[in-house]
Amino acid sequence: MLEIKNLRKTYPGGVQALRGVSLKIENGMFGLLGPNGAGKTTLMKCVATLLEPDDGSITLNGLDVLHQKEDVRRVLGYLPQDFGLYPSLSAEQMLDYLACMKGITERAERRRLVGALLERVNLASVKKRRLGSYSGGMRQRFGIAQALLGAPKLLVVDEPTAGLDPEERNRFQNLLAELSGEIVVLLSTHIVSDVTALCHDMAIIRDGLIVQHGTPREAVDAMRGKVWEKIVPRALLDKYRSRLPVISANPAIDGIRLRVLSEGNPATVYSAGDGFVAVEPNLEDVYFSFVTAPEAQSHLAGSGSGSHYGR
């Protein structure tokens, strides 16, 4: 169990990165969704003992993360958004070096552990290749291997699939899914599909605040019957945006595909013209409604704006 209570962090200049974050995270994969600048990386660094918060507490299986850093680091694996490698070393050499740094001094034990980890992340066949020649996906899988040194109880992974092609993303997701049955995996990302595919529990962070917390299924079910869609002319997009609780607007062949959050048909509730149809919600709808269009949530209890559109 990882428990975070009332965590706060303000950077010089007055930027409030965390504004009272509280979460309880159990074994398995937990997804932290949020846009760039929401506070995800700040939270990850605090959990990984790399950054001191201004206030609050973090405990991991009874350990005080903020005051027992060395004890926590023995049971922690961390894959940051950007991590350094020696490009001239092979994966085998680099992992052996990191194992030494982790305190694994027996050479035979290191050899066995390095071989097993590279096999687990599907890099055994390229273990002699220089890390500088690895693709982005291979580098990320190596990052997981180094994070697993010492059999951690908590794995913190910050934006692991950003920049990966679909094949590598799928391979990396499968690897994380295998790990999540054994330990707590805290996955920070702005890619909704990662959370949809992997996480049994999740939270959305915006401007340093947790604005939604629950299972992906619960979050989607709460929006069932409240998401409406309509293709509108591109020229009218700004008018619709200004008068309706729009949660997303995506290009379509014949215009813009609007998705709107509303308790009833927007044609009736907002006098917005015919053509809206109820659609099945998904996790992207949840994310957009809380992050890119938070005002849409406030409209759910409203009675309509009184705006009008031509039919």
pLDDT in tens, 199-244: 999 999 999 999 999 999 999 999 999 999 999 999 999 998 888 8
Q: Give the model's pLDDT for residue 284.
A: 94
For residues 49-67, average pLDDT = 95
Give 2-39 pLDDT, tens digit per residue. Answer: 999 999 999 999 999 999 999 999 989 999 999 988 99
Q: Give the model's pLDDT for residue 191.
A: 87
Q: Could you tell me which residue, 174 or 206, shows the higher pLDDT?
A: 206
Q: Does residue 257 have a pLDDT over 90?
A: yes
Residues 102, 170: Cα–Cα separation, whole Å: 30
Residues 121, 142: Cα–Cα separation, whole Å: 7
Q: Where are the domains of the chain?
A: 2-215, 221-298
Parallel, antiparallel, or unpaired for β 55-60 and 154-158? unpaired
Give 119-171 pLDDT, tens digit per residue. Answer: 988 899 999 999 999 988 888 889 889 988 888 899 999 888 877 788 888 88
Token pair listed for 260: 């709107």
* 73 φ/ψ angles, rounded to the nearest 5 degrees: -65, -25
Token pair listed for 109: 């034990």
Q: Give the model's pLDDT for residue 296.
A: 65
287: nearest Cα among 186, 166, 202: 202
The residues that bridge with 278 in the sheet, in sequence order, are 228
Q: Give the model's pLDDT for residue 307.
A: 41
Q: Give the model's pLDDT for residue 48.
A: 94
Give 98-128 pLDDT, tens digit per residue. Answer: 999 888 889 999 999 999 999 988 899 999 9
Q: How far is CA 95 from the centre of its chain?
A: 26
* 58 φ/ψ angles, rounded to the nearest 5 degrees: -135, 130
| Helices 107-120 + 91-101 axis angle, to 10 | 120
176: nearest Cα among 199, 207, 196, 193: 199
CATH number belonging to domain 2-215: 3.40.50.300
Q: Could you tell me which residue, 120 or 91, shows the higher pLDDT?
A: 91
Token pair listed for 221: 């079910």
